[in-house]
Chain A
Amino acid sequence: MTNDVATTVEVDLDMIAEQVWSAFLNSGEDEAVFAAEDKGAHMDLAASVAMVGAYEGHLIVSCSHKASRDVASVLFAMEVDEVSQDDIGDALGELANVLGGNVKSVLPSPSQLSLPRVSATEHERWPGTVEVSRTVVSWRGEPYVLTLLSGSNHQEVSA
C-alpha cells in the first residue's frame, strides 16, 4: 500500500510542482526544469507544512538562500537585493502552503493543513517519519528540493 501511494504521489509531485511554478512564479518554459537531477546540493532553508488527518506527514521545500530570494523577488515584484528576511519567510512559506495544499488533494482525505513554517535546514528534524516522495525543481539555475514525508509525529524539533 505504501508503495502504491509513493508511486502515485511521486508522479503528482512533479505535475503539481510544474503547475505551481507556472502559475505562482510566472515561470517561463526556459526557466524551470522539473524532475531535475538531485545533485545533493546544500539547502539553507526549509519551508514546511504538516498534514494531519487521514494522511499524516509533511511537505517540505528546501532551497538555498539565493533561491529563496529569487522566490521572494518574484512574489513581491521587487529586486532581489530589496527583499527582506520577512519577505523571504513569507514567500517561501506561501510556496510550501500552495504546494502542500495541492499535494494534500491527491492524498487520503480528509486531512488538515498546518500553517507553514520556515527555518534553517540544520534546525529542522522530522522524527518518526519516512520519505514518501522527493523531486527536484531547477529554477533559474537553483535547485528546490520537494520532499513528502509520511509519519504521525508532527513535533518538529530543533537540533
Chain B
Amino acid sequence: MLGIVIDDSRAMRKILRGLLADLGFEVLEAGNGREALDLLQSDGRVPDLALVDWNMPVMTGLEFVVEARKLSELRQMTLMMVTTESEHGQIVRALAAGAHEYVIKPFTRDGIIDKLALLGLVPVGVL
C-alpha cells in the first residue's frame, strides 16, 4: 500500500512516516497541500491513504481535501485529517469536504492504527 503524509512539520512527518512504514506502507511526504498535489501528479500513483494536517502554509489541509476530491483519479484515496483543529465545526467542515476520518493531535500510535483498521487499511496480521 502507498501512503502520503502531508504536514509542514518535519518532525510530525517523520513520526507518521515511521508509523505507516511499520504497517507496511510505502510513504511519500509533502510539506503542504500544493506540494502534495504536485507530487501526486508527477508520481502518477494514487495513494491508498493520505494523512493530512490542517494548518499549513501555501495550501491548508482543508483546501487540499477540497482539491483532491475534485480529481477523479484520486477518488479512491482515503483522506484522514491529523490535526490540532479540534473544534466541532472544523471537524464537520473537513468531513463535509470529503475527509473520511479525523484524528486530533496529540494522537497515540494505537489511536491511528485503530482508525486505519476501521477503514480497512491495516494489513491482516499487524494488529
Contact = CB atoms under 8 A, between A and B. Distances in A.
Contacts of B55: 97, 101, 113-115
Nearest to B86: A105
Contacts, number: 68
A91 B108 contact: no
B29 interface: no
Interface residues of B, number: 23
B57 interface: yes
B85 A75 contact: no
B76 interface: no
A33 to B, nearest CB: 19
Contacts of B14: 75-77
A127 interface: no
The majority secondary structure among interface residues of chain A is: helix
B125 interface: no
Interface in B89-127: 89-90, 104-108
A20 B106 CA distance: 6
Contact of B9 (A20, A93, A104, A114): A93
Interface string B6-22: 00111110110010000
Nearest to A16: B106
B84 interface: yes
B11 A97 contact: no
Interface of B: 8-12, 14-15, 18, 55-57, 83-87, 89-90, 104-108
Interface of A: 19-20, 22-24, 72, 75-77, 86-87, 90-91, 93-94, 97-98, 100-102, 104-105, 109-111, 113-115
